[in-house]
Amino acid sequence: MALKQPASLRVEILGLFDQVAAILATDGTRYQLYQSGAPSIEEGDVSAHLLWDVARMDLQPDEAVRLLLGVPLVPGAQLEAAHSLEDGRLLLSFRDSRDGFRRIFEFDARSRLSRVRDRDAADALLWEVTYSDYRPLGDRDFAYQIEIDFPRVEANADIHFKTADLNRKLPASAFNLSRP
């Protein structure tokens, strides 16, 4: 997996015996999709529903990049509530007054992001991301395990980073599939 803010990502999906089953690459504007057994690379303009169409992930590419890097933003939302729990955890809730959307952040006792949940105006859970297996990486801790749950479609994704490198310069070609 390669990620670059704001919306560039390359995800290689491995199948049985770690063989590449699919590769999705996007620079935030255009995407390319390789699927094992397909005669050609599918490509087109990035839509708000690209990750939904490809992997049933109800996220836009820029949002996926931020969540996977552990830096989810809340554009346009206002702090609604903050709760400090007895065990040292902290909960922050932000609400967007335009559409009622709510994002809830949970931080562990060491101030590391442990969970993010998005809820719609009716308070239905849209998705939940859990961060764990934090290890030192540079001057901060980084979550090497990320679990994403999409209850609406009963889907989930478990991401386990074997290695991670932050702030590395990635060439534009990392987010473009070369033609055979």
Mean pLDDT rounded to a whole number for the chain = 87
Q: What per-residue confidence (pLDDT) applies to 142?
A: 93
Predicted TM-score (pTM) of the model is 0.82
State residue 180's pLDDT score.
45
| Structure confidence at residue 156 (pLDDT) | 86
- Indicate whether 171 belongs to any domain: no
> Do 104 and 144 share a structural domain?
yes
**140 part of a folded domain:** yes
DSSP letters, 16-47, are GGG-EEEEEEE-SSEEEEEETT-SS-EEEE--
Q: What is the mean pLDDT of residues 163-173?
A: 82
What average pLDDT score do residues 86-111 get? Answer: 92
**Does any domain span residue 30?**
yes
Domain contains 173 = no
Domain total of the chain: 2
pLDDT tens across 16-60, in order?
A: 787 888 888 998 889 999 988 888 899 999 987 888 777 777 788
Last residue of a domain, one of 68, 99, 114: 68
My answer on whether 74 and 161 are in the same domain is yes
Residue 89 has pLDDT above 60, yes or no: yes
In percent, how much of the chain has pLDDT > 70?
Answer: 98
Q: Which domain holds residue 109?
A: 70-165
- Which of 68, 92, 120 terminates a domain? The answer is 68
